[in-house]
Amino acid sequence: MAERLEKLRGWFDNYVAGFYGDDEFINANIKLKEEHSRRTCSEMLYLAEQLGLDAKEKQMAEAAALLHDIGRFEQFAKYRTYNDTRSVNHCLLGVDVLTRTGVLDDFDRQTKQIIEKAIEYHGAKELPRNLDGRCLLLSQMLRDADKLDIFRIVVQEYARYRANPDEFELEVEFPDRNEYCAEIVQDILKGQRIDYGRLRTLNDMKLLQVGWVYDVNFVPTLERIKERKFLESLVGFLPETADVRQVRDKIFEYVDSRIQQGR
Which among 123, 144, 165 is the end of a domain?
A: 144
pLDDT interval class at 4 (50, 70, 90): confident
Q: Based on the fold, state whether residues 40 and 123 are members of the same structural domain.
A: yes
- Cα 98 to its chain centre, rounded Å, is 19
Q: What is the pLDDT of residue 197?
A: 84
Report the pLDDT averaged over residues 65-70: 98
With respect to residue 158, please indicate whether it lies within any of the assigned structural domains: no
With respect to residue 161, please indicate whether it lies within any of the assigned structural domains: no
Q: What is the pLDDT of residue 263?
A: 61
* Spatial contact of 107 and 8, defined as CB atoms under 8 Å apart: no
Per-residue model confidence as pLDDT tens digits over 106-136: 899 999 999 999 999 999 988 999 998 999 9
Q: What is the pLDDT of residue 169?
A: 82
Amino acid residing at 124 = A
Question: How many angstroms separate the CA atoms of 179 and 205, rounded?
Answer: 11
Q: What is the pLDDT of residue 85?
A: 87
Q: Based on the fold, state whether residues 119 and 223 are members of the same structural domain.
A: no
What are the DSSP calls for 128-154, one per residue?
-TT--HHHHHHHHHHHHHHHHHHHHHH
Q: Based on the fold, state whether residues 46 and 123 are members of the same structural domain.
A: yes
Q: Based on the fold, state whether residues 103 and 215 are members of the same structural domain.
A: no
Q: Based on the fold, state whether residues 135 and 205 are members of the same structural domain.
A: no
Per-residue model confidence as pLDDT tens digits over 214-252: 999 999 999 999 999 999 999 999 999 999 999 999 999
With respect to residue 151, please indicate whether it lies within any of the assigned structural domains: no
Q: Based on the fold, state whether residues 137 and 30 are members of the same structural domain.
A: yes
Which among 127, 144, 161 is the end of a domain?
A: 144
Residues in the chain: 263
- For the chain, the average pLDDT equals 95
Q: Based on the fold, state whether residues 195 and 236 are members of the same structural domain.
A: yes
Q: What is the pLDDT of residue 100?
A: 97
Count how many domains the chain has.
2
Question: How many angstroms separate the CA atoms of 231 and 98, rounded?
Answer: 34
With respect to residue 113, please indicate whether it lies within any of the assigned structural domains: yes
Report the pLDDT averaged over residues 151-179: 92
Q: Based on the fold, state whether residues 7 and 56 are members of the same structural domain.
A: yes
Please list, in sequence order, all residues whose beta carbon lies within 8 angstroms of the beta carbon of residue 84, skipping any fewer than 6 positions away.
Answer: 75, 90, 123, 196
The dihedral through the CA atoms of 243, 244, 245, 246 has a sign that is positive
Q: Based on the fold, state whether residues 112 and 221 are members of the same structural domain.
A: no
Q: Looking at residue 40, which CATH number applies to its domain? A: 1.10.3210.10
Q: Based on the fold, state whether residues 123 and 180 are members of the same structural domain.
A: no
How many Cα neighbours within 13 Å face the side chain of 256? 6
With respect to residue 153, please indicate whether it lies within any of the assigned structural domains: no
With respect to residue 165, please indicate whether it lies within any of the assigned structural domains: no
Q: What is the pLDDT of residue 7?
A: 94
With respect to residue 88, please indicate whether it lies within any of the assigned structural domains: yes
Please list, in sequence order, all residues whose beta carbon lies within 8 angstroms of the beta carbon of residue 161, skipping any fewer than 6 positions away.
Answer: 168, 172, 176
Which range of residues forms the domain containing residue 107? 2-144
Find the helix or strand (DSSP H, E) in which 46 lies.
helix 24-50
Q: What is the pLDDT of residue 2?
A: 76
User: What Rg do the C-alpha atoms of the chain give, in angstroms?
Assistant: 18
Per-residue model confidence as pLDDT tens digits over 5-24: 999 999 999 999 999 999 99
Q: What is the pLDDT of residue 183?
A: 95
Report the pLDDT averaged over residues 82-107: 95
With respect to residue 55, please indicate whether it lies within any of the assigned structural domains: yes
pLDDT interval class at 153 (50, 70, 90): very high
- Cα 79 to its chain centre, rounded Å, is 20
Q: Based on the fold, state whether residues 139 and 197 are members of the same structural domain.
A: no
Q: Based on the fold, state whether residues 40 and 99 are members of the same structural domain.
A: yes
Question: How many angstroms separate the CA atoms of 107 and 56, rounded?
Answer: 12
What are the DSSP calls for 145-191, one per residue?
HHHHHHHHHHHHHHHHHHH-GGG--S---S---S---HHHHHHHHTT
